Amino acid sequence: MERRQVLKTAGILATGGVTGLAGCSSSGNGDGGGEPTTTETQETAGGSGDSNTVMMVTDGSEYYFDPIGLFIESGETVTFEIQSGSHSATAYKEGTSSASVTRIPESAETFNSETLSEQGATFEHTFETTGTYDYFCIPHKTLGMVGRIVVGEPGGPAEGSMPPDGDVPESQTIVDQGSVSYSSFSG
């Protein structure tokens, strides 16, 4: 879906501006990868309750993905949903937004929701390539808002180290547990 259509769907362009994004801008270069090849949607309806839903949360001075670690099989779709605040789900792929390193499998499609600001807004990405995917929130990356998804089995450039902007659960822990909540990881 084109960026203009995504913003229009969210009602941002309907008001003639982007006032809903105040304070949450990106200094990145866009997605760096041409037309997206993933399924992208932005809605204002409530949550799906799906086990493959990652909530994007602002809680006081904490900004996080919940779960922070998720295991899925190849071909499954993950829905990233705004619970509170303004956030993005952006792959660590050099050249995508403010990513300076690549931490997704070599042949994997990148993803970047751009910043979503409406409670209940969603972004979906279908993960086809097996391996470990680290991702971040554009406006809160420097505050440690990072997450990890393992597809099928651990592998790729994210293995053996943590993202440059924060900590995530080890891939094998994610595989063993299926899902690692933010509270159990950070507590």
147: phi > 0 → left, psi -120 to 50 → alpha, else beta; which? beta
DSSP 122: E
Q: Which two tokens stand for residue 171?
A: 């891939």
Find all residues with CB under 8 Å of 110, minimum gap 6, and list them. 31, 32, 33, 91, 93, 96, 104
Residue 17 in contact with residue 128, Cβ under 8 Å? no
> Does the annotation list 145 as a binding residue?
yes
- Given a contact cutoff of 8 angstroms between Cβ atoms, the answer to whether 47 and 120 are in contact is yes
Q: Is 125 annotated as a binding residue?
A: no
Q: In this structure, are residues 31 and 97 in contact, taking their beta carbons and an 8 Å threshold?
A: yes
- The token duo for 64 is 């996080």
Tokens in use for 54? 């990652």
56 is in an annotated binding site: no
List binding-site positions. 137, 140, 145
List binding-site positions for Cu cation. 137, 140, 145
